[in-house]
Amino acid sequence: MTTHASSRAYARTRSGQVHYQVMGEGLPLLLLSESPRTHRQFRHLAPLLAPHFQTIAVDTPGYGNSDPPAQPVRIENVAATLVEFVQQLGHERVKVFGVHTGNKLAAVLAADWPHMVDRVVLAGYPHSIIPENVARNAAIKPIFDRFNPQYAADAHGSHRVRAWAAAQAALGNLWWPQKLLVGAEVTDADIGDAEAHAIDYVQGWRNTVAMYEAVFALDLAEHFKRIAAPTLVLEFRVPQEQHLGAQAERVAASMQDGRAAAVETGYPLALQDSAEPIARACLPFLLGTPAA
């Protein structure tokens, strides 16, 4: 496989600078990550897509090297910043791949700026693509709680120390994933994955509560129904979420031009562990070939 060089840059918007990584040439494909990940989340997937597209992996405002979004955070406002970002890069239309928080941003882009989005992939574990707010938010809350430990405030600031200690503990788990602790073999790529995850967490953990709260407030079902662009709902299926039921088929059926696909993968690092099957699942659709 041909190796595609990557480059990183900033685009200036009215909401601040947005950092991104580009790989490949051709039609632009916007890659939108989960919270608190950045362009680094696509370190395995982007090289598989770059032979076909110019991949543009974005640090969502508030994460990585991008400036934070305005407060209070709203998904619609972050999406508006991404529209300006795309315009600054000189593109009139893009394809979009969004995972978890990224799929919410992708849905809003496709629904509210239909002239800009050619095709869109909404990817994630079942909890992330449940359209109904109450059910989706209940499924997401245990994940949110990891970023939002509740400590009673006091005048001496001990609650800040406790929150800081909790952040350090979370970082330790990312620094030492199970694959490094108990794996029969450890590669340079494994170390690189752990490092990338840890860096993303350090750069973005302070902004994640506000972003999750913005996700909770988003009427995702309403946006799904308004998407006119061809849409692929790509579900990452894992035993840990069987209790939620498969979501892709029913979500796709609610859309104007939706279709569904699923990848059996691991939890919780699908883009890291299953980049090749994910690329195979979405490439025919993104290319618009008959196999889509």
| Look-up of token digits 């039921």 | 245
Q: Strand, coil or helix: what is 159?
A: helix
83-96, pLDDT tens digit by residue? 999 999 999 999 99
At residue 292, what is the residue type? A
Number of H helices, E strands in the chain: 12, 8
Q: What pLDDT digit, counting tens, does each position of 100-125 carry?
A: 999 999 999 999 999 999 999 999 99
* Cβ–Cβ under 8 Å, residues 95 and 88: no
Contacts of 42 (CB under 8 A, 6+ apart): 21, 31, 33, 55, 57, 271
Task: Kindly report the pTM of this predicted structure.
Answer: 0.96
Ordered by where they begin, the domains of the chain are 6-287 (3.40.50.1820)
pLDDT at 290: 54
End-to-end alpha carbon distance in the chain: 23
Count the alpha carbons within 13 Å of 89 in the hemisphere toward its beta carbon.
Answer: 29
Q: Name the pLDDT band for 292 (thresholds 50, 70, 90).
A: very low
Report how far Cα 34 is from the mean position of its chain's Cα atoms: 3
